[in-house]
Amino acid sequence: MSKADQLFVTMCGNILEHGFSSEGQTVRAKWEDGTPAHTIKTFGVVNRYDLQEEFPALTLRPTAIKSAVDEILWIWQKKSNNINDLKSRIWDEWADEEGSIGKAYGYQMGVKYKFPHGEMDQVDNVLWQLRHTPYSRRIMTNIYNFSDLMEMGLEPCAYSMTFNVTGNKLNAILNQRSQDILTANNWNVVQYSVLIHMFAQVSGLVPGELVHVIADAHIYDRHVPVIKELIQRPQYPAPKFTLNPDIKDFYDFTVDDLKIEDYQKNPQIKNIPVAI
């Protein structure tokens, strides 16, 4: 059975059984009808995914893997902050009339800084270090730029990656300040797992472990019945994942270079309410 499923079931069970409810508190998020969107949350969730063991896509319900990867390439490869460069509509709520989400996500990835080895942006710095100083303990990115927060459509949820090479394995820690578990958890796990695969391939390494650290892991009140049904579903083996081995430059990857095989999964859950 998929270990990603097992981690998800355990995490959700812990949140539902031991989590803290925001009922009675003033909350920012609201449902479309204006009702406050309360949550049950757990602080400080840490999940570990061994990418040598399996590709961590849920089978409890399908994850739109290529759409998730399209978003991560929008941020890390295109370094865009305009939703017109993105195929899905997941960012529409936070964009202005021209499609911009302000100085958030991809914008921050494209800002250039001075490093000892030259002036470049955060993505190119990671790629340079993985090729030239792979055992450095300083290979990281951070897009939570306080000086630009007031000009962001949404403050970054997944805001920092720390890369670390052990032997020939590329590992990474994804830090996330907040996560809507039902709508975003496996989406983020899948897209950052693929990012590690891509970075490893173009750096002569193999993918190792993704450690996902979530400060505020929460389930919205209107998602509780869905989660309870979801974690009771049958579980299947994880799908097989491969990348086009001919790609040697990170900027050449497209979603068509992903190959997903034997993805056995439960039916999709439709019409999930989204808090804004």
Annotated binding site: 137-138, 177-180, 188, 218-220, 275
Residue positions in the annotated binding site for dUMP?
137-138, 177-180, 188, 218-220
Catalytic residue among 16, 64, 157, 215: 157
Has 12 been annotated as catalytic?
no
**Ordered DSSP codes for the chain:** --HHHHHHHHHHHHHHHHPEE-TTS--S-B-TTS-B--EEEEEEEEEEEETTT-----SSS---HHHHHHHHHHHHTS---BGGG-SS-TTGGG--TTSB-BSSTHHHHH-EEEETTEEEEHHHHHHHHHHH-TT-S-EEEE---GGGGGGBSS--SEEEEEEEEETTEEEEEEEEEEEEHHHHHHHHHHHHHHHHHHHHHHTT-EEEEEEEEEEEEEEEGGGHHHHHHHTTS---PPPEEEE-TT--SGGG--GGGEEEE----PPPP-------
Q: Which residues have a catalytic role annotated? A: 157
